[in-house]
Structure 1
Amino acid sequence: MRPIRTVATAVLAAAALIVTGCANGSDDTPAAAPSSAATFPVTVGTVTLEKRPEKIVALSPSATEMLFAIGAGKQVTAVDDNSNYPAEAPKSDLSGFNPNAEAIAAKNPDLVVLSNDTNKVVDQLTKLKVPVYVAPAAKTLDDTYQQIADLGALTGHPDEAADLTTRMKNEIDKLVKDVPQRATKLRYYYELDPTFYSVTSKTLVGSLFALVGMENVADAADPDGAKGGYPQLSQEVLVKANPDLIFLADVKCCQQSPETVKARSGWAAMNAVKNNQIVTLDDDIASRWGPRVVDLVRAIVDAVAKVPAA
């Protein structure tokens, strides 16, 4: 949903739209029964499965969260080294950022879920006759809902997937509906890392703020989307923009906080700093496009509710 925190990966993640411990979640509990609506063989896009997969390898934290949220967690036998939620996810040393086809195939999966085709891993796995579903970083909420539906179909949990998306839509609708209208839109800056990478309204994260009726100070830095919706701003531009709220999505990774922001040269004059309207986010929730996107909307709404009406 947003870049990780180096310049190189930030640019890479603009195309992929990206972002820790757990024990192996294997136990003797039987796998959840498939939905009554589950039928196989099933085809989603270019992926056809003859039977329900029981050895799923998920190499995307967002996909991992989706799979567990729809009741397919017991079918997941390995996840990537960044999939830290839920706690029972069977974390491994497999990388989603630099996937290795041989290492993945060694897990004997009957379905692999990826967020991108780095290293042409899809072709390599296809040659090894391993089914692969690619779930790229969502650009809209509808993208998220579609991926949940696709994974529901592929894993034999279509009903649970439909229920999940319905709950997400209802919760987001209620949160947005409860936001009071303002005569003037609140302006915000969303920080991905301390080098001032941000998001525009053309990203999934930016679209969530737009739902709440906020104005993004980063939009002017990438008006035509040439930077993928992830421009790097300058300190001078941000001070001049003078946002009403600052959202920090670089708390865990980069140890940013209201205190570090207040200490930045020239930032003390910003409305957000003067009025103590600096919001710390959970980096993981802010970077993923799975079910917990509802929690990000809630954090945005809660922050807006604390801003006094003009």
Structure 2
Amino acid sequence: MRPVRTAFAGALLGVLTLAGCGQNSAPQGTTASAAPTSATPSASSATAFAGSDGFPVTVQAGNGPVVVQSRPERIVSLSPTATESLFAVGAGSQVVAVDDQSDYPAQTPKSALSGFKPNVEAIVEKKPDLVVLANDIDGVVAKLGKLGVPVLLEPAATKLDEAYDQIADLGAATGNTAKAQEVVTGMRKQIDDLAAAAPKDKKLTYYHELDSTPYSATSTTFIGQIYGLFGLTNIADKAPEAAGGYPKLSAEFVAKADPDLVFLADTKCCGQSKETLAKRPGWSGLSALKKDQVVLLDDDIASRWGPRVVDLAKQVGDVVRKATTS
């Protein structure tokens, strides 16, 4: 099993690896208390009139309306996606600590904190005035709330619009609204342009691999919807367990489906490649292997729903163009 990461792909695998880790049966999101969270224990709602700096501000997060009374200067991020987004919107200098899986950009203040095994005491030791996380594991949101620590729960996005909304949330909560809107606008345009330019007349099929078990993702998932923008047909949609979004496929199923394209999102964690696939029972004859259409993805880019989704879309678009002209 691949290492657990805070991601729409890692969310499912986190449930499988860490039974009872706080996720719901749906891998992309979590359920949290809708009670408002505030930057100070006494505040329960947003002030009617914001100051010259735009604060206080209320952000509608996964844990309900969160009131941020003033511009946070000691942010702790326990979500690699949120970390990337915070730096993208210009809040990097406000971040004092990130979790052990946040590795981008390079200057992130990485720590031993965990988003999947949150330690409230360790988090509080960082003296945060805002904590951002993707999973409400072991009731960490409520626990931090009781200590007067404001929390934004931004669970794994299930569609692009949710990813855009989360970036806007982080911009508003950190006093970087304009930059966040700039990031979102740029992402929308780039992804829309890439999708529009992609040839879709060949009706290519594909297989996306989350890990070497192998688990995959259907078109109903965030990653599946990205591929859908480029007119690709997902073989996992016809899997017996497809209703769950993340079916475990058999070697026989993939071999019989014989996808035109294979995308591997387990290259870093699990060392998968065209060569390792060829050693699997019945896979050496796959069309994607014969035509050299096995695509090595960056595990992290392929499992996060932040600004680098554009990089993933570019790679998919390039692969589709190459496959349709070869």
Do these two structures clear the TM 0.5 threshold for a shared fold by scoring above it?
A: yes
Asked if 1:2 corresponds to 2:9, the answer is yes
Residue range with higher mean Cα deviation, 95-104 or 60-69 = 95-104
Shift of 1:262: 1.6
Moved over 4 A (4+): 4-7, 10-14
* 1:5-24 pair list within 5 angstroms: 8-9=16-17, 15-17=26-28
Shift of 1:224: 6.7
Residue range with higher mean Cα deviation, 62-71 or 43-52 = 43-52
Deviations 1:195-249 (A, max 9, x none): 1100000111000110000000001126773x2x111010111111110000000
Shift of 1:102: 1.1
TM-score by length of 2: 0.84
1:290 aligned residue: 306
| Closer, same or farther: CA 7–69 of 1 in aligned 2, 3 Å | closer
2:54 aligned residue: 39
Give, in whole Å, the separation in 2 of the partners of 1:56 and 1:246. Answer: 39
Shift of 1:270: 1.5
Shift of 1:278: 0.3
Give the counterpart letter for 1:270 in structure 2.
L
TM-score by length of 1: 0.89
Name the Cα RMSD after superposition.
2.1
Of structures 1 and 2, the one scoring higher in RCO (CA 8 A, sep 6+) is 1
Give the counterpart letter for 1:191 in structure 2.
E
Give, in whole Å, the separation in 2 of the partners of 1:275 and 1:305. Answer: 14
Asked if 1:187 corresponds to 2:205, the answer is yes
* 1:88-103 pair list within 5 angstroms: 88-103=107-122
Deviations 1:98-137 (A, max 9, x none): 1111111111100000101001100100000000000000
Give the counterpart letter for 2:17 in structure 1.
T
Shift of 1:172: 0.5
Give, in whole Å, the separation in 2 of the partners of 1:212 and 1:260. Answer: 27
Number of matched residues? Answer: 290
Percent identical across equivalent pairs? Answer: 53
State whether residues 200 and 232 of structure 2, in contact with CA within 8 Å, keep that contact through their aligned partners in structure 1: no
Q: Which of the residues 110, 113, 116 maps onto 2:135?
A: 116
Give the counterpart letter for 1:44 in structure 2.
V
Give, in whole Å, the separation in 2 of the partners of 1:307 and 1:9. Answer: 36
Give, in whole Å, the separation in 2 of the partners of 1:64 and 1:302. Answer: 27
| Closer, same or farther: CA 150–37 of 1 in aligned 2, 3 Å | farther
Q: Which of the residues 188, 194, 207 maps onto 1:169?
A: 188
Aligned partner of residue 132 in structure 2, secondary structure: strand
Give, in whole Å, the separation in 1 of the partners of 2:228 and 2:91. Answer: 32
2:232 aligned residue: 214
Aligned partner of residue 113 in structure 1, secondary structure: strand
Shift of 1:97: 0.8
| Closer, same or farther: CA 245–54 of 1 in aligned 2, 3 Å | same
| Closer, same or farther: CA 270–224 of 1 in aligned 2, 3 Å | closer
Give the counterpart letter for 1:254 in structure 2.
C
Give, in whole Å, the separation in 1 of the partners of 2:27 and 2:164. Answer: 17
Q: Which of the residues 212, 218, 224 maps onto 1:200?
A: 218
| Closer, same or farther: CA 281–220 of 1 in aligned 2, 3 Å | same
Q: Which of the residues 230, 238, 253 maps onto 1:237?
A: 253
Give, in whole Å, the separation in 1 of the partners of 2:162 and 2:181. Answer: 14
Give, in whole Å, the separation in 2 of the partners of 1:121 and 1:250. Answer: 29
1:32 aligned residue: none
Shift of 1:273: 1.4
Residue range with higher mean Cα deviation, 272-281 or 69-78 = 272-281
Deviations 1:49-79 (A, max 9, x none): 1110000000000000000000000000000
Give the counterpart letter for 1:257 in structure 2.
S
Aligned partner of residue 171 in structure 2, secondary structure: helix
Q: Which of the residues 108, 130, 136 maps onto 2:155?
A: 136
1:56 aligned residue: 75
Give, in whole Å, the separation in 1 of the partners of 2:90 and 2:25. Answer: 30
1:82 aligned residue: 101
Give, in whole Å, the separation in 2 of the partners of 1:297 and 1:262. Answer: 26
